[in-house]
Structure 1
Amino acid sequence: MTQSLQEQYATDDNLQARIALHAAFSINPHWAEWLFEQEAPAPGARILDLGCGPATFWRAIKDRIDPSWFIPLADLTPGMVAAARRELGARAVYVVADAQDLPFPADSFDAVLANHMLYHVPDRPRAFAEISRVLVSGGTLHASTIGHGYLAELVALAPHMNAERYSESFGLETGPRQLEPFFTDIHVERFQDALAVTDVEPVLAYLRSSESYNGQDPSRARTTVQNAIARDGAFRVAKPLGVVSCRKA
């Protein structure tokens, strides 16, 4: 993760602005439940969550957490780890850690989750090698990510966001081949969703959450979204996403 990203994620404020837009306006609100079903941890599972952020995934499935699971939540920034701790408390353990240099012994985990974070990792082959090292034989990696065209209508309002760089870095279309030297049984599952936004202010808050947008005039974005809402009933945004899953041989 670059220095600017570390600064951007020093607290969860910017991320929460982005989460809020999805939480309020996703037409399919069952992302976390769907993702949990893809992972399906067994009783007693040891599950490492890399790039846990403020534990948004775990908060959504809190009632399904098995007390027999061992769940370290790891993030590169102390601010995110603190936010996760506030959310889950004693249900998990908390670690400031870099995916490229994991502070765990070999064969420590049955599963690793990497939700919407691998596209931030500068040296992904090194991270994949580390993930493989800490997984037991037969252990699984579940890496949720985005696909081509993700949030294209939002990006048109603020081209600086350039969401395509993330899908090109590690997306549903580009991630599987990167995993091939390290894992087997690689497959992609897609989640059907989109945004139907009926209030302009959360869109502007989302745009402002990007450091490169600060100071820009939001009037064009405001007008575009308001016109779409008036004309179509909602400002509609494409949202291709899903999970790349694989197994350690």
Structure 2
Amino acid sequence: MKPEEHHYVTTGQLAQRTGMTLRTLRYYDKIGLLKPSQYDHSVRLYSKEDVARLQKIQMLKFIGLSLDEIRQFIQDDSTPEQDLGSSLKMQKEIIQYKIAQMQYVSKAIEEALGMVDEQGQEVDWEGLVDMMQTIHKEKDWSEQYHNAVRLQARIRLYDQFSWNKIGWHPWFFEHLGSLPHLKVLELGCGDAALWRRNANLIPETWSITLTDLSAGMLEQARMSLGANSERFKFLVADAQAIPFHDNEFDIVIANHMLYHVLDINRAVSEMHRVLKPDGCVYASTMSTSHLQEIEQLTQAFDPHIQVLDPVMERFQLDNGREILQASFTEIEQIRYEDYMLIDEVQPLIQYMTSTPMNARKILVGEKLDQFTTYLRGKIAEQGSLYITKDSGFFLARKMQEDKEKYL
């Protein structure tokens, strides 16, 4: 049979089309990084999926990962090679994070150069130490790539099987309203997804400040907003010590982030402090029933497997009102109606192994094969798996009667 009849290319053809050397491709085969799909006697034959994998390998090399790290990622990455769109989106995201980090480091060097200009050739040891801390403080890039892969797995599950097609970010943004001339503060803005996905709906007269603990993440937020970034102010800030005056903002947003804060009560007090009278906090989270069927499925198979991160239990829909009541008297809870009906095994397993818990370490090899068979049986028996999605937010308004409680 001829390779071209089945859309295969030889090592030489692949090298010619990609600019890779024959030596490199043969080495990748030798170390198990890129095995050809087929052999015709001694001729290596590469499929379209192999080419997609090679592209991913080259991107990972570009951002500075070692071949050992790349091999581990290729093994861990559950994204089908045929799903080129999801793979490229994930790769674009990680490149943007890389650019953001480099820009942050560049700013640190620029500041150090400014100090050198001011002080002549005298060495500012403290400044050099600060610069080194700046370079090393951001997340390891191999871990960042892992996080991007895992996030894509979660997004794919939600996008494919969620009943509510509005989407969380448009729904949440709609509840902020559209009154003009508001001052808005977001704590823990991450990559600014809330604003990027609602860019055309933001009132022109709003003054918006985005904050995050990570300077690198703020750079990513700035980049993700593109030309719209000029409409925002960006500031490194801790929700436990918000660096603004009393009574400064009309709206304060804490979108799925309060459960990560060390001292939640202090953060809530700070949000109350910086709000203007009659201003509102929008604090979103999930309930303890959110995705519980996923946990139950894995527990029934193996009680040692954990999928859901218990950190969210620190501030969730069932206890959030009580926490906010330490500073606010008027609190309303608004829920986002949604659920999933899942009738495919692989997207579900990809989600389960994407969380920071131990599922991805246990569900490997023969254990993964057994679990896959188990899930297929459940889907065959029920037709589809119902998964609860229970998220929402608390709308807390700063009232005059809050004063005694706040003091």
Common fold: TM-score over 0.5: yes
Gaps of 5+ in 1: 1-5
- Give the structure with higher Rg (CA): 2
What residue in structure 2 maps to residue 72 of structure 1? 209
Q: How does 1:201-240 map to 2 (within 5 A)?
A: 201-213=346-358, 214-218=360-364, 219=368, 220-240=370-390
What residue in structure 2 maps to residue 27 of structure 1? 163
What residue in structure 2 maps to residue 56 of structure 1? 193
Deviation at 1:243, TM superposition (A): 1.1
Helix, strand or coil at the partner of 1:160: coil
TM-score by length of 1: 0.85
| Cα separation, 2, equivalents of 1:85 and 1:19 | 22
Deviation at 1:212, TM superposition (A): 3.2
Q: How does 1:32-181 map to 2 (within 5 A)?
A: 32-89=169-226, 90=229, 91-156=231-296, 157=298, 159-163=305-309, 165-166=311-312, 168-181=313-326
Query: Do the aligned residues in 2 keep the contact of 1:150 with 1:163 (CA within 8 Å)?
Result: no
Count residues with an aligned counterpart: 243
Helix, strand or coil at the partner of 2:372: helix
Gaps of 5+ in 2: 1-137, 300-304, 400-407
Deviation at 1:48, TM superposition (A): 1.0
Helix, strand or coil at the partner of 1:107: coil
| Cα separation, 1, equivalents of 2:292 and 2:184 | 33
Cα deviation digits, residues 157-199 of structure 1 (max 9, x gap): 2742345552x31111100011112112101111110122344
Q: Percent identity?
A: 36
TM-score by length of 2: 0.54
The one-letter amino acid of 2:327's match is F
Deviation at 1:7, TM superposition (A): 5.6
| Cα separation, 1, equivalents of 2:258 and 2:239 | 9
| Cα separation, 2, equivalents of 1:212 and 1:170 | 19
Query: Do the aligned residues in 2 keep the contact of 1:225 with 1:235 (CA within 8 Å)?
Result: no
Higher strand share: 1
| Cα separation, 1, equivalents of 2:200 and 2:383 | 35
RCO higher in 1 or 2 (8 Å CA, sep ≥ 6)?
1
Deviation at 1:230, TM superposition (A): 4.0
Higher helix share: 2
